[in-house]
Structure 1
Amino acid sequence: MTQSPVRYDRQGAVGIVTVDSPPVNALSQAVRQGLWDRVTEGFIDPDVTALVIVGAGRTFIAGADIAEFIKGGMGEPDLNDVNDLIESGPKPVIAALHGTALGGGLEVALSCHYRVAVPKALVGLPEVKLGILPGGGGTQRLSRLVGAKTTIEMITSGAFIPAPKAQALGIIDHVGEGADPLAIALSFAASLPAGPHKRTRDREEGLAADRGSSVFDEARASLAKSARNQFAPQRCVDAVEAAFTLPFDEGLTRERELFMQCMAHDQAKALIHVFFAERAVTKIPDVPPSVTPRKIGQVAVLGSGTMGGGIAMNFVNAGIPVRLLDLDQAALDRGMGVIAKNYAGTVAKGKLAQAEMDKRLSLIQPTTDYADLADADLIVEAVFEDADVKAKVFRRLDEVAKQGAILASNTSTLDLDAIAANTGRPADVIGMHFFSPANVMKLLEVVRGKDTAPDVIATAMAVGKQIGKVSVLVGNCDGFVGNRMVQYYATEAQRLVIEGASIEQVDQAALEFGLAMGPFAMGDLAGLDVMAFIRARRVAAGLIYGTPLSDRIDPARKGQKNGRGWYRYEPGNRTPLPDPEVAAMIDAYRAERGITPRTFSSEEIGKRLIYSLVNEGAKILEEGMALRAGDIDIVYIYGYGFPAWRGGPMKFAELSGLDNVLADITRYHADAAAAGDADGGYWEPAPLLKRLVAEGKKGFG
């Protein structure tokens, strides 16, 4: 007989129901059944007058078992039945919170008559981050405690609320001292008056003021802007409103109806995919957990420009000292000045204490001498994206770095093996491609070369986690995963403009799809001078990157950095504004080539942009440059602002139907060929995509 993950004990007149299901006490079917059985046992125990529900290990109940979501059913007992049992029982029940009480975990706590917590506990209802809403009574019970506005804010943001704030809001009844939630709960139980003890479902504190108010319409209007095109946030408001317009049991029924609507929606499928994909990126078949990472106590960063400075900030933010090298003292001084300014801005916003800023700056030792890097455990090169420059740097590093030091390149496109060949230690060389701004963007592409040692890979992945990055292992090819795909996305944007779309229309279609910015605004942010340099290199190698249209851009136009790119920018303002000079250049380009502009719908533009990513992503998968389709999705979500609720480009293709996607790609390829457009050659359908469709497969596996 399988042992239950929930046990029952007694301390004096208090029954203790302990959830012990490592690692996070998720509400699996076995835990729900255990709660049902043990709470029932406590209610019929004649020697107890109150019950405490507490979590063993590091947390209370962190939430539902997400794996059950994708298996098509949660199994009995339903969480609502468990919560009703707790709430309607003959004895008071106290939830003793530590760690996190999230989602279903908080819903269990809300069904208890009282909630106590250690000071560091966190509570929240983050289901919206999975494209769903609380389905265990959370929208109905929380509303009765804190009112509509706070409930809507908590549920639609998915924010985690510290216990002291939760007490101030009325979610938690008592925050005790120390770190032992059971001790706090037992002390609280000893102070309880004789019953009856009011059920949360019968509370009225939060309901009276908001009945018939405009708070729901205001929330919907606000979410229409902040969560544009997202399904679940609006359903969350509908569910909360039900708490104010329906009796409790009918409100629960309405909540469940809305929950099931969300579960059936593609956005929930996408976000649940992202949840699991982000956790899967750490699993590397030939680098098992048994591989021990190297110890990293001292880091060096080469290059004090925008990228190098941002990379240095990542490490000192994690308490790791950095030696920042630049051979130009003036550049080094400027770089340190920019770092200080960045930190000062954070201090001014109240997000960082001055003392902490001073501490972080003290961890950066600027230098112009390679000899100062001799004791670094990890050296990250962030110099100009030029093969000859990087070759020279790595030859010098090979001379000064100690044995066992990891030599990492921040290259975004260049051949890592060619870089490693400039050293006598290719096993110690790896790519660590940070995304700009490096101190903000969460993605880190970890690039393995053909000789990179397993423990070097393990170290880079571990360091990425330590400095707060989402690290994804990728293979060594031109552009790796992210930039290899985006080069065709950017090229397709130019082809659309050549055919008749406007720059603004293309970018607007990308925004309507849910991307953080359009391809032309992205080019201006990255720098058109950088883009021109990469295009020249790729064209010289017979590869595609952009179109001849980009060659017509005045070289003086560098994008946001000087206020003139595809768009124009006012001083001190990053808002892209249409530029008549660029529009005239495009008109002239079309006229020279006899192109009659045609009209496009936003849907057609969106498809051509996104499917260009999908097709190249499928080629990357087949080549083994990414371990999983989900890894590609994580790269795009965290590195390029792809909307998580779309699931990433590969998941979006699956949800759109691989057969439908292939049909469109095949048509785009035929159109480019018929027009004699060599720049559209990347539309040749990926063999993997063709094979999957031929085999009737629905996903990339």
Structure 2
Amino acid sequence: MIYQGNAITVARRDVPDGNVIAVLTFDLQGESINKLSSQVVAELDDAVKAIRFESDLGGLMIQSAKDVFIVGADITEFHALFDKGEDYLVEMNQRVHAIFNAIEDLPFPTVTAINGLALGGGCELPLTTDFRVMAERAKIGLPETKLGIIPGWGGCVRLPRLIGADNAIEWIAGGSENRADAALKMGAVDAVLPLEQLEAGALDILARAQRGELDYQKRRADKKGPLKLNPIEQMMAFETAKGFVAGKAGPHYPAPVEAIKVIQKGAGEQRERAQQIEAATFAKMALSDVAFNLVGLFLNDQVIKKKASKYEKQAQAVKQTAVLGAGIMGGGIAYQSASKGTPIVMKDIKADAIELGLKEARKLFAKQVERGKLTSAEMAEKLSNIRPTLSYGDFGHVDLVVEAVVENPKVKDAVLTEVEGQVGEETILASNTSTISIDRLAQNLKRPHNFCGMHFFNPVHRMPLVEVIRGEKTSDAAVAATVAYARAMGKTPIVVNDCPGFLVNRVLFPYFGGFSFLVEQGADFQKVDKVMEKFGWPMGPAYLLDVVGMDTAVHANEVMAEGFPERMARDTKTAIEVMYDNDRLGQKNAKGFYAYEEDKKGKPKKVTDEQAYALIKEVVKEHREFSDDEVIARMMVPLCLETVRALEDGIVDTPAEADMALIYGIGFPPFRGGALRYIDAMGVAEFVALADRLAEELGPLYAPTDKLRRMAEQGERFYAANASSAQNANA
């Protein structure tokens, strides 16, 4: 044994031709995956020094003993590392460069056997070796730009020299995970093999290099020297790419363009100088608010996945499901279930509704075929997972039923009590309600412990969030089964407790309340939309209301006003109600705050409609000009405060879940980290002061809670500084 650590071992191995090679194996003890934490990097340094000390070695093979190769750096360390400042980050990266360079400079050929996921630093490490072989089902990539940073351990230097600048820009700026066949085609790996042949393939490449059949020294020289592009080729490659990527990434996500600049600046340099450029830019990006917040999102997502996994372990098997109500929503739910492999019965009382649901599912599957994601045969097979019916004949064998009928408590009550009599004693009933109390719907059920909410967001196939709503009598078993089913559908479930609007809609409607106040005081709703879109929302509030539907918005607002009258009830008519009263429902009937025309692809395109302005004059009480900052404050403060209240009321367990629900459910700008991170970034005391100023004029919707005031006085935050989200308890 050459080296033995907690994550890395290096062993000698005799190979044919009388040679001895070193085999470096990653196998992080106590973990299911390999990752490059600070401790593991320190071990790698020791291991490489031990290898260099051995005088009789003829080659090196790097491999993994786990199902993955290396998933990347340990992201839970990032906030603490970033807090150490720019100089430290540059120095840290240069230390890693020195270790990786030592591998690249070993006096014999080297190869990496990539058996599974190789991401981030786990991709950059194999780039140091002379050769790479990859298992057929493995994936490789540099996703750092998705965290607001750039590859900092040689990815911006070695990858362009290996696969060309254009291909490297595509991989790095896109942050994609790339399949083995694509990696082979681009030249990122030298061979793709079945997993069971991977090691033999790697050893064969080493043997051929040792015999001089493969020129590993030339490969090294190409990786360590300048990019082989003349000045005109460089200008065309990089300037065009920067413009395209900037347009795609948008102004709030600078990392992809910064990565291209690093590749460009280092293109004419030798290895060490190019790495210095990379390290400096990595440090600059790591200290940005965007990186801090995107890393926070990753950590929050890990919290949610761990909680969901715990529920899954307790869950009864969900092998057959059903959806009641076949329309667009029911068809979307049926599609999602069938596409992920859980058979589903789709029931309605009307044949034309059944056909509408099937049409929706067929349309979504057909799009997958058009994109090359499915073959026609696979589409037919998945579509057969949906069984349409007008009766309850097959419901005795269903494990879970999703009720997705009209958002009317009387109708839902009738359907739920009816279906309860048709299913087994252990079958879970879940209502896809967006606002109606789960406790209210459970009142007439014989088995309320088997009932919960399962709120999908529209369109079902695109929106990742599912709110699983626990009622007062809902059992842990019902929650666990519903969470497990949501995960099986490829969704992100977040468990919340019952209240009007649950979490997401409860938080969204104060945001719409802020919009109504602005319109009343003379703000141009189109300007409000533009300001909030510039702030980072995918669409402004007026446009969002048109997409949601004014009828849906009015109904939900009535539920909120009844549940939280002191701050959500209004004595006067709002612009939303004006639209509804004038049958301007939004996109569903092509007129709302905007009018809608079909674009070339048949999708609704919004256009200005002067009639909307004429109608809302009814509610405009004054005419004021608002700065962008005033618009943002009036929109964001009530949304953030309601998130705080939901957390304090125990509707949601943790800041992580609250923030991720808003990002996944209503498109809260990810680079801002969520409502509670937004308050932290502003400073709790500063946020309370701003809310107090607005509350003086606009009332209780803007009033901070007593607990938030105490947090401000004591200098507390929702997220502990430099700690992973998993360590943050309920505020």
With the shorter chain as reference, the TM-score category is over 0.9
Q: Is the 8 A contact 1:482 1:639 kept in 2?
A: yes
Report the residue type matching 2:414 in the other structure: K
Task: Extract unaligned runs of 5+ from structure 1.
Answer: 674-680
> Per-residue displacement from partner, 1:628-673 (whole Å, max 9, x unpaired)?
1111111111111122211112112211222221111111111114
Structure 2 equivalent of residue 243 of structure 1 = 266
Structure 2 equivalent of residue 59 of structure 1 = 68
Question: Which whole-Å CA distance do the structure 2 matches of 1:540 and 1:447 have between them?
Answer: 19
Matches within 5 A, 1:267-416: 267-284=290-307, 288=310, 292-416=314-438
Shift of 1:349: 3.4
Q: 2:595 aligns with which of 557, 562, 568?
A: 568
Shift of 1:208: 4.6
Shift of 1:122: 1.0
Aligned CA distance change for structure 1 residues 671 and 20 (closer, same or farther; 3 Å): same
Question: Which whole-Å CA distance do the structure 1 matches of 2:384 and 2:275 have between them?
Answer: 55
> Per-residue displacement from partner, 1:67-97 (whole Å, max 9, x unpaired)?
2212226879932121011011212211111
TM-score, scaled to structure 2: 0.90
Where 1:8 maps in the other structure, the secondary structure is strand
Structure 1 equivalent of residue 23 of structure 2 = 16
Structure 1 equivalent of residue 614 of structure 2 = 584
Report the residue type matching 2:627 in the other structure: S
Report the residue type matching 2:352 in the other structure: A
Shift of 1:262: 1.1
Where 2:421 maps in the other structure, the secondary structure is helix
Q: Is the 8 A contact 1:7 1:19 kept in 2?
A: yes
Structure 2 equivalent of residue 676 of structure 1 = none
Matches within 5 A, 1:192-207: 192=209, 193-194=211-212, 197=217, 198-199=219-220, 201-202=223-224, 207=229
Shift of 1:351: 2.9
The alignment status of 1:259 with 2:282, answered yes or no, reads: yes
Aligned CA distance change for structure 1 residues 542 and 472 (closer, same or farther; 3 Å): closer
Q: Is the 8 A contact 2:511 2:635 kept in 1?
A: yes
The alignment status of 1:226 with 2:248, answered yes or no, reads: yes
Report the residue type matching 2:257 in the other structure: Q
Task: Extract unaligned runs of 5+ from structure 2.
Answer: 15-19, 720-727
Deviates more, 1:461-470 or 1:315-324: 461-470
Question: Which whole-Å CA distance do the structure 1 matches of 2:499 and 2:376 have between them?
Answer: 43
Structure 2 equivalent of residue 630 of structure 1 = 656
Q: 1:686 aligns with which of 705, 727, 730?
A: 705
Deviates more, 1:569-578 or 1:440-449: 569-578
Aligned CA distance change for structure 1 residues 531 and 290 (closer, same or farther; 3 Å): closer
Where 1:566 maps in the other structure, the secondary structure is coil
Structure 2 equivalent of residue 128 of structure 1 = 145
RMSD over equivalenced CA pairs, Å: 2.3
Where 1:569 maps in the other structure, the secondary structure is strand
Deviates more, 1:415-424 or 1:216-225: 216-225
Question: Which whole-Å CA distance do the structure 2 matches of 1:670 and 1:226 have between them?
Answer: 42
Deviates more, 1:1-10 or 1:684-693: 1-10
- Aligned residues between the structures: 689
Report the residue type matching 1:568 in the other structure: A
Q: 2:672 aligns with which of 634, 637, 646?
A: 646
Q: Is the 8 A contact 2:22 2:59 kept in 1?
A: yes
Shift of 1:66: 1.0
The alignment status of 1:86 with 2:103, answered yes or no, reads: yes
> Per-residue displacement from partner, 1:256-310 (whole Å, max 9, x unpaired)?
111111111111110111001011124559x956952111111010010111111
Structure 1 equivalent of residue 641 of structure 2 = 615
Aligned CA distance change for structure 1 residues 204 and 262 (closer, same or farther; 3 Å): closer
Shift of 1:252: 1.0
Question: Which whole-Å CA distance do the structure 2 matches of 1:196 and 1:187 have between them?
Answer: 14
TM-score, scaled to structure 1: 0.94
Question: Which whole-Å CA distance do the structure 2 matches of 1:428 and 1:358 have between them?
Answer: 33
Where 2:594 maps in the other structure, the secondary structure is coil
Report the residue type matching 2:613 in the other structure: A
> Per-residue displacement from partner, 1:585-641 (whole Å, max 9, x unpaired)?
223432xx4x2x111222321232222211100011111111111111111111111
Aligned CA distance change for structure 1 residues 117 and 207 (closer, same or farther; 3 Å): farther
Q: Is the 8 A contact 1:281 1:473 kept in 2?
A: no
Shift of 1:109: 0.8
Identity of aligned residues (%): 32
Aligned CA distance change for structure 1 residues 366 and 525 (closer, same or farther; 3 Å): same
Question: Which whole-Å CA distance do the structure 2 matches of 1:291 and 1:350 have between them?
Answer: 34
Aligned CA distance change for structure 1 residues 118 and 573 (closer, same or farther; 3 Å): closer
Question: Which whole-Å CA distance do the structure 1 matches of 2:420 and 2:8 have between them?
Answer: 57
Q: Is the 8 A contact 1:524 1:565 kept in 2?
A: yes
Q: 2:46 aligns with which of 18, 28, 37?
A: 37
Question: Which whole-Å CA distance do the structure 2 matches of 1:68 and 1:534 have between them?
Answer: 42
